[in-house]
C-alpha cells in the first residue's frame, strides 16, 4: 500500500531560510527551516495526506498500534529516521553512543529519575544513532572524525608561524604549546584539556592566526575557523574543530558517521538517514547543554580519513550507500526506472524532477520534497524518476 506522507519542518536556529522552500517550490517564510523528519520518531509527527480505512491519521500511531501491518519483518518500531537537512550555520560538535552505552546510560538516568524532557538528560532513549549524510547540492560542508595527527601538527605549525609573523608572540606560544601537547600526549589529552579547561586564550590565538595565514593548502580550515568564530565567538569547540577533517561534498557524495565519530555539519542541503534515536552528546558550538565527561567517554579518538561512503551500483538506475548495520538502508534511484523488492516498510522521497512510485494496487507522483510510505504488503515497487529519489528502508539485504 502506498500512503503519501508529510511533516512540518523544524525551525532550528541554524537552519537555512531558503534551501527547503526552494526544494519544495515554495516562497520562503523568513524563518529558518532546518530539518524535515520522516518516520515514526516521538519528537516528530509524520502525517498521512489521504485517509485510508483502518489506518490512523499518522505513521506514528499506526506503528504504535499495529506494527506488524505497518512495518513487517517482525519489527515493533521503525528503526530508521529519514531527514532533509538544510544548514545555514554550523551545528554543534557532537557524537553518538554505541548501542550498549545508550542502553546503560538510559537505564541509569531512568533509575535516577531524570525527566526524559530535561535539558540535562543525555539518553532520551536506549538506542544508538549512527547516521549517513548524502549531499544534494554542491559544497555541503562538514567536520567529521579526527584528522591524522601528523597533518594537524602541520596545520598548527603553520598557524604558529602566522601568529609569530603577525607579531602575536603570546598567541604563537599558545599554539606551539598545543602542538607539543598533541605530539606528546595525543588527541584524547588535547580534547580533554580544551573542553574541561580554560580554552579562551588558545581559541583567540587560533582565530587571529587563521586570519593571518595566507596558505591555499589550509584555506578550507582557516575559512572554517573564521565562520565558527562568527557564529560562536570564543567557543572552545573552535579549538576542537582544528583537529577534525573538513570536507566539502558534491551531490551524491556521502559520509557515514558511526558511534563515537566526532562531527558537525557546517552548511548545505542533504538527505540524512539514521537509526531512530535522539541520543546526542555535545561538546561545543551550541547553545544547548553540553556534557563533556560523557562526550569524552563515547568519543572514538582514532585518527581517520574522511569517512566517505561510495554509491555502489545495484542496477542501471539504482545505487546503494552500504553501511555495516541493519537499522537502515538507503538507495538512490535515477534518473531512470527501477523495481525494488521490499519485505519491510520503506519511505520514498523525491528530491529532483518528477518521481512516480507504483505497486500492484496503485501509484503516486512525487515532486521534490514529497514522500510516500510503502507498507510491507506492497512486496515490491516500481520507481521511475526524471531526476532522482531516495528509498529508505530497514537493513534487509538481497
Q: Give the model confidence (pLDDT) of 99-141 as tens digits.
A: 999 999 999 999 999 998 898 899 999 999 999 999 999 999 9
231 is in an annotated binding site: no
Residue 344, all three cell numbers: 519491510
User: In this structure, are residues 243 and 187 in contact, taking their beta carbons and an 8 Å threshold?
Assistant: yes
Three-state DSSP class for 10? strand
Nearest to 273 by CA among 133, 106, 108, 172: 133
Nearest to 2 by CA among 248, 302, 293, 360: 360
Catalytic one among 282, 332, 339, 397? 282
The model carries a pTM of 0.95
Nearest to 264 by CA among 353, 174, 140: 140
The per-residue pLDDT for 285 is: 96
Q: What domains are defined for the chain?
A: 1-9+45-80+310-398 (2.60.120.10), 148-242 (no CATH)
Residues sharing a CB contact under 8 Å with residue 193, sequence separation 6 or more, in sequence order: 181, 199
Residue 397 among the catalytic residues: no
The per-residue pLDDT for 398 is: 44
365 is in an annotated binding site: no
Residue numbers in the chain where pLDDT is lower than 50: 397-398
94 is in an annotated binding site: yes
Nearest to 349 by CA among 372, 320, 377, 381: 372
DSSP 300: -
Q: Name all contacts of 51-59 with Cβ < 8 Å and 24+ positions apart.
A: 52/1, 52/3, 55/3, 59/3, 59/5, 59/373
| Mean pLDDT score of the chain | 96
**Number of other residues whose CB lies within 10 A of the CB of residue 22:** 16
Three-state DSSP class for 308? strand
- Cα 369 to the center of its chain, rounded Å: 18
87-99: pLDDT as tens digits: 999 999 999 999 9
Q: How far apart are CA 58 and CA 48, in angstroms?
A: 6
Q: How far apart are CA 257 and CA 354, in angstroms?
A: 30
The per-residue pLDDT for 396 is: 57
CA dihedral 279, 351, 331, 316 (to 10 degrees): -170
User: In this structure, are residues 256 and 96 in contact, taking their beta carbons and an 8 Å threshold?
Assistant: no
Backbone angles phi, psi at 24, to 5 degrees: -80, -10
Q: Which residues are registered as beta bridge partners of 249?
A: 140
Q: Which residues are registered as beta bridge partners of 341?
A: 380
Q: How far apart are CA 10 and CA 230, in angstroms?
A: 23
Q: Which residue has the cell 601568529?
A: 163
User: In this structure, are residues 143 and 224 in contact, taking their beta carbons and an 8 Å threshold?
Assistant: yes
* Nearest-5° Cα angle at 396, 390 to 397: 95
Amino acid at each position: 500500500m502506498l500512503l503519501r506522507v508529510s511533516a512540518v519542518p523544524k525551525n532550528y536556529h541554524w537552519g537555512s531560510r531558503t534551501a527547503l522552500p526552494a526544494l519544495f517550490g515554495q516562497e520562503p517564510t523568513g524563518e529558518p527551516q532546518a530539518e524535515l523528519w520522516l518516520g515514526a520518531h516521538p519528537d516528530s509527527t509524520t502525517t498521512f495526506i489521504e485517509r485510508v480505512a483502518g489506518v490512523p491519521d499518522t505513521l506514528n500511531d499506526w506503528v504504535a498500534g499495529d506494527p506488524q501491518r505497518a512495518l513487517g519483518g517482525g519489527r515493533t518500531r521503525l528503526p530508521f529516521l529519514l531527514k532533509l537537512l538544510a544548514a545555514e550555520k554550523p551545528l554543534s560538535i557532537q557524537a553518538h553512543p554505541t548501542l550498549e552505552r545508550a542502553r546503560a546510560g538510559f537505564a541509569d538516568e531512568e533509575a535516577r529519575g531524570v525527566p526524559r524532557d530535561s535539558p540535562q538528560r543525555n539518553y532520551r532513549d536506549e538506542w544508538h544513532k549512527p547516521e549517513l549524510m548524502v549531499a544534494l547540492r554542491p559544497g555541503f560542508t562538514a567536520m567529521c572524525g579526527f584528522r591524522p595527527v601528523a597533518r594537524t601538527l602541520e596545520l598548527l605549525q603553520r598557524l604558529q608561524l602566522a601568529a609569530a609573523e603577525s607579531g602575536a608572540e603570546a598567541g604563537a606560544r599558545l599554539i606551539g604549546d598545543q602542538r607539543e601537547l598533541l605530539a606528546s600526549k595525543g588527541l584524547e589529552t588535547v580534547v580533554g584539556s580544551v573542553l574541561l579547561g580554560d580554552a579562551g586564550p588558545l581559541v583567540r590565538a587560533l582565530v587571529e592566526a587563521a586570519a593571518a595565514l595566507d596558505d591555499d593548502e589550509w584555506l578550507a580550515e582557516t575559512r572554517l575557523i573564521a565562520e565558527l568564530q562568527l557564529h560562536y565567538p570564543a567557543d572552545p569547540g573552535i579549538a576542537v574543530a582544528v583537529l577534525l577533517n573538513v570536507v566539502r561534498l558534491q551531490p551524491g557524495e556521502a559520509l557515514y558517521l558511526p558511534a563515537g565519530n566526532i562531527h558537525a555539519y557546517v552548511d548545505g542541503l542533504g538527505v540524512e538517514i539514521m537509526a531512530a534515536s535522539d541520543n546526542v552528546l555535545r561538546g561545543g558550538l551550541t547553545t544547548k547543554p553540553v556534557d563533556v565527561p560523557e562526550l569524552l567517554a563515547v568519543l572514538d579518538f582514532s585518527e581517520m580519513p574522511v569517512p566517505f561512503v561510495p554509491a555502489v551500483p545495484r542496477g542501471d538506475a539504482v545505487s546503494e550507500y552500504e553501511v555495516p548495520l541493519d537499522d537502515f538502508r538507503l538507495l538512490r534511484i535515477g534518473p531512470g526506472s527501477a523495481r525494488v523488492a521490499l519485505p519491510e516498510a520503506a519511505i520514498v522521497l523525491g528530491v529532483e524532477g518528477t518521481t512516480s512510485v507504483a505497486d500492484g494496487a496503485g501509484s503516486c507522483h512525487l515532486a521534490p520534497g514529497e514522500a510516500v510510505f510503502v507498507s510491507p504488503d506492497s512486496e515490491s515497487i516500481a520507481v521511475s524518476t526524471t531526476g532522482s529519489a531516495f528509498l529508505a528502508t530497514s537493513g534487509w539485504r538481497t
